[in-house]
Chain A
């Protein structure tokens, strides 16, 4: 082997090896991360990836999920051309057609549905990712439909709603200056991984950690000064009990409360019902640990808390539980002060950029004024009041029941029916549609139900505008040609808007025009210039928040204060919702004798993200089989050991998976990761076991039965 051969084998970049490094971003997980990637390119092909040094999200590192990118792009089931269904829905028989023919069919079918049943009968839906969502929303509105919706009907939005209800906008921790970090459902080792290194650094510097989680995790093991392990979905009761101790001992900030907090007296009365004599029974946490948590909070006055996009909210009482945890910040005077929680408004696609944009103007200025209410609006009035978009958890019901009006067609980007509780019901609903278009990189289980599948390309094959916290932004460029005839999501939307000649000139001008006019013009920057940057650059100055500035100016809540008791809810008694963060048992009404276990799903594992990288061979090799965690004692009772097959059942059906006996989960809990075709945990969930406040599904607390497979 020559020196050059060795260098080529080792993928050393340089003119001699013909290997070039180009910069792009990872779009596997949420917009809060989107790490920089060095793509090693040889002969137009990606041959290796690693993190980009100096990138604000990852500075050269990458996580287990991000490392899937190379095999993800080249997954065997990539869709390369538009496909027209030729067999029954779900079978997966398609024939390639041209883009021109695809656009013709889409235009014909969507317009036909509009003529016959009204524009609202057409739903515009986005799964993961999110980067094109502003355009999809505007597309729906240009078409005349109020029914834009997305996977955020089950992720993050409930937390955002809790923040909006209490403080008018999203808050975030000022962990740099805290004495104590309240890590409630916090495991950065397996999600938002850069937080793990930072948390360990802060721990070395003396930051204390109060970790609350149903499961033992790397975070509870490595970070916790005190670890509380409540039963799944009982977080609200636990937070109330801690609050009760704080209040009884006078460990609260009364002057702050009097000045800045609304509803304290009623809240204090309410939480007094969670105490020494009942908290262990409700949550499983012994009272002495509740008292110790309150003492820890008292001893370390500056406390911040993590944001939890999913785990806290995935219960039928999730929204209220979230508010209950947030209340601890308010009563200790830790909202809107250094070392506590400051408002961190998301100014562009779920990113707290630190600078303002006119994203909302772009999204809402063409919203149809006299359209019917979107799907889910009647059932989830608080969601409708705060979000004003489709609550997609109600979509399968409305398709099947046709009430309050029929849904006849779905135009989707990345629809994943397995994301929905009772995924079987959603797949069935899709067969009832007159027309279903899905756009995806892969011929997924859901795409197989589509009449037309459009091929999307990956973040490596497109360019996109991407801001980061701290006033940073860049505009990526493709690092490789799109595979086959695949196109970027925004190109598809622009071309289709023009083909259908929708009455929205701005939409038809496309994505770059949106970024230029609504974002960059305000900072005197040209997109072309931003494309030249090899790393995110500063486009706006960001000033650090000042203590109590938001509170002194008045929050965007009806009272201008932090609301322990929601004025919005109080003013709408017809909704039948509680203005206080009341606590309700999380579990469904299935027979507790027949279904004695609690099924919880969605908590992260390192090597997967939802369903999207289950089919990536390297990632899958780290954990080849769908495997449920169960407590060792339960496993002994069932006479199962590591790797044995168990059957998990609910009223909806059953799945067979392997079992991992462990004491990281409490007794009577079954923890299983989601998105597996062969063992779809969401097929066991109840489509109606939803949070009445947010519409969020109770992925994390559903009664089930477990048996050993004979």
Chain B
């Protein structure tokens, strides 16, 4: 079944719990400067409005990293749709990182690529990805295709409503 890591910006406060869960799950050695596979940050615009984000691999449908890798390390999982990898043949050429529009792939001390694999082993065992399991406000969820489509429809309807409201407020005379 196809699955989605879904991020709801409105519920996120960039608290970092997801990033810590990722570190704990993957034994990220932060003291040695290693970074988790998920990051949170807060953006403040000029007017002082705050936006909160949690970002990891987007698991793009048409993933540029898969095409960019000369060694065939990266694959799209036929079942779930996540972008998975086996770095046995990785030559550390960074092509995947250059292909990725989000700069997601990183490289370990062994020179090989690593990134979020949506905790695929946990999912296989019937468990949620670590970041989703922990998210205190429900900003991160794991959705099925059906739930994802419904969610997108809801978002679109909400956006249309907001635009309509803005439009009705504007005086075009």
B122 CB–A CB distance under 8 Å? yes
Interface centre among B10, B20, B25, B28 (most CB of A within 10 A): B20
Measured between C-beta atoms, what is the minimum distance from A289 to chain B in Å? 16
Beyond A193-B15, A617-B30, A618-B24, is A221–B49 a contact (Cβ under 8 Å)?
Answer: yes
Complex CA distance for A423 and B66, rounded to whole angstroms: 56
What is the CB-to-nearest-CB distance from B162 to chain A, in angstroms, rounded to a whole number?
Answer: 15
Pick the interface stretch among A47-55, A433-441, A568-576, A689-697: A47-55
Known: A618-B20, A664-B48. A197 touches B138 (CB 8 A): yes
Cβ–Cβ contact A60 & B133, under 8 A? yes
Residues of A within 8 A of B136 (CB): 61-64, 193-194, 196-197
Separation in Å of the A143 CB from the closest CB of chain B?
A: 42
| A643 proximal to B (CB < 8 A) | no
The answer to the question of A607 belonging to the interface, with a C-beta cut-off of 8 Å to chain B, is yes
Complex Cα–Cα for A61 and B131 (A): 10
* Residue numbers in A under 8 Å from B44 (CB-CB): 662-664
Is B23 among interface residues, defined by CB-CB distance under 8 A?
A: yes
B150 within 8 Å of A (CB atoms)? no
List residues of chain B with CB within 8 A of the CB of A663.
44, 47-48
Number of A-B contacts (CB under 8 A): 106
Residue of B nearest to A9 (CB): B121
Q: Is the CB of A618 within 8 A of B30?
A: yes
Closest Cβ–Cβ distance, residue A231 to chain B (whole Å):
17
Q: Are B17 and A62 interface neighbours, CB within 8 A?
A: yes
| Complexed CA–CA distance, A189 and B20 (Å) | 16
Judged by a CB distance under 8 angstroms, whether A7 is at the interface is yes
Q: Which chain B positions have C-beta within 8 A of A49? A: 24
Tell whether, in the assembled complex, residue A50 and residue B134 are in contact, meaning their CB atoms are under 8 Å apart.
yes
Say whether A222 contacts B10, CB under 8 Å.
yes
Is the beta-carbon distance between B16 and A622 smaller than 8 angstroms? yes
A6 CB to closest chain B CB (Å) equals: 5
- The answer, yes or no, to whether B146 is at the interface (CB within 8 Å) is no
B127 in the interface (beta carbon within 8 A): yes
* Contact residues in B for A222 (Cβ distance below 8 Å): 10, 13
- Cα A685 to Cα B54 with chains together (Å): 36
Contacting B at CB under 8 A, from A40-92, are: 48-51, 60-64, 67-68, 70
Name the distance in Å between A642's Cβ and chain B's nearest Cβ.
11
The answer to whether the Cβ of B65 comes within 8 Å of any Cβ in the partner chain is: no
B31, A67: Cβ atoms closer than 8 Å: no
A200 at the interface (CB under 8 A from B): yes
Q: Which of B17, B28, B130 contacts A64 (CB 8 A)?
A: B17
A216 CB to closest chain B CB (Å) equals 7
- Max count, chain A CB within 10 A of own CB: residue among B11, B28, B44, B137: B137
Q: Which A-chain residue is minimally distant from B127 (CB atoms)? A: A12
CB-defined contacts of A156 to chain B, threshold 8 Å:
none
- Count of chain B residues with a beta carbon within 8 Å of a chain A beta carbon: 35
Q: Closest B-chain residue to A196, C-beta based?
A: B137
Least distance between B85 CB and chain A CB atoms (Å):
12
Q: At the interface, yes or no: A619 with Cβ under 8 Å from chain B?
A: yes
What CA separation (Å) do A621 and B28 show in the bound complex?
11
Known: A197-B137, A200-B137, A617-B30. A218 touches B52 (CB 8 A): yes
How many Å from the CB of B132 to the closest CB on chain A? 10
Answer whether residue B142 sits at the interface, using C-beta atoms and an 8 A cutoff: no
A660 to chain B, nearest CB (A): 10
B135 within 8 A of A: yes
Q: Min CB distance, B116 to chain A, in Å?
A: 13
Residue in B16, B21, B52, B127 whose Cβ sees the most chain A Cβ within 10 Å:
B16
Cβ–Cβ contact B133 & A189, under 8 A: no
CA distance A663 to B46 in the complex (A): 9
Among the listed A9, A10, A621, which residue makes an inter-chain contact with B30, where contact means beta carbons less than 8 Å apart? Answer: A621
Given contacts A50-B130, A50-B133, A664-B44, contact A196 B13 (CB under 8 A): yes
Determine the residue in chain B with the shortest Cβ distance to A60. Answer: B133
Contact partners of B30 in chain A: CB under 8 A: 617-618, 620-621
- B19 within 8 Å of A by Cβ? yes
- In the complex the two chains form, is B21's CB within 8 Å of A50's CB? yes
Q: Which of A12, A48, A63, A200 contacts B121 (CB 8 A)?
A: A12
Indicate if B78 sits at the interface (CB-CB under 8 A).
Answer: no
Known: A6-B121, A9-B121, A10-B119. A51 touches B134 (CB 8 A): yes
Task: Judge whether A62 and B134 touch: CB under 8 Å.
Answer: yes
Could you tell me if A617 and B17 are in contact, using CB atoms closer than 8 angstroms? no
- Min Cβ gap A226→B in Å is 16
Q: Does B61 contact A (CB under 8 A)?
A: no
A190 at the interface (CB under 8 A from B): yes
B24 near A10 with CB under 8 A, answer: no
B52 partner residues in chain A, CB cutoff 8 A: 218
With contacts A10-B121, A621-B30 taken as known, whether A221 is within 8 angstroms of B138 at the C-beta atoms is no
In the complex, whether A606 has a CB less than 8 A from a CB of chain B is yes
A10 touches B122 (CB 8 A): yes
Q: Verify A200–B11 contact, CB threshold 8 A.
A: yes
Chain B residues near A372 (CB, 8 Å)? Answer: none
For residue A11, CB closer than 8 A to chain B, the reply is yes
B50 lies within 8 A of chain A by Cβ: yes
Cβ-neighbour of A61 out of B16, B31, B134 (below 8 A): B134
Q: Is B1 an interface residue (CB 8 A)?
A: no
Q: How far is the CA of A14 from the CA of B134 in the complex (A)?
A: 21
Chain B residues with CB under 8 A of A68: 20
Q: Mark A5-30, 1 if CB is under 8 A from B, else 0.
A: 01101111010000000000000000
Contact A61 B135 (CB under 8 A): yes
A190 to B20, CA, bound (A): 15
Chain B contacts of A662 at CB under 8 A?
44, 48
Docked complex: A615-636 residues within 8 A CB-CB of B = 617-622
Question: Using Cβ atoms and an 8 Å threshold, which residues of chain A touch B135?
Answer: 61
A302 to B17, CA, bound (A): 34
**Neighbouring B residues of A194 by C-beta, 8 Å:** 136
B residues 92-120 in Cβ contact with A at 8 Å: 119
Contacts of B130 in A (CB 8 A): 50
Q: Report A695 CB to chain B, min CB distance, Å.
A: 33
B31 near A64 with CB under 8 A, answer no
Report whether A48 and B24 are in contact in the complex, using a CB–CB cutoff of 8 Å: yes
Q: What's the nearest-Cβ distance from chain A to residue B170, in Å? A: 23
Question: Known: A48-B25, A50-B134, A61-B136. Contact between A7 and B48, CB under 8 A?
Answer: no
Beta-carbon contacts under 8 Å, A208-239 to B: 216, 218, 221-222
Contacting residue for A63 out of B17, B23, B50, B138, CB 8 A: B17
List 6 extra interface pairs beyond A62-B21, A67-B20, A617-B31, CB under 8 A: A10-B121, A10-B125, A14-B125, A606-B17, A618-B28, A664-B44
- What are the 5 A-B residue pairs with the smallest beta carbon separation, nearest first? A10-B121, A663-B48, A189-B13, A606-B15, A218-B13
Of the A-B pairs whose beta carbons lie under 8 Å apart in the complex, a sample of 20, sorted by A's number, is A10-B121, A10-B122, A11-B25, A12-B125, A50-B130, A51-B134, A61-B136, A64-B15, A67-B20, A67-B21, A67-B24, A193-B136, A200-B137, A218-B13, A221-B50, A222-B10, A606-B14, A618-B28, A662-B48, A663-B48
Q: Which residues of B are in contact with A by a Cβ distance under 8 Å?
A: 10-11, 13-17, 19-21, 23-25, 28, 30-31, 40, 44, 47-50, 52, 119, 121-122, 125, 127, 130, 133-138
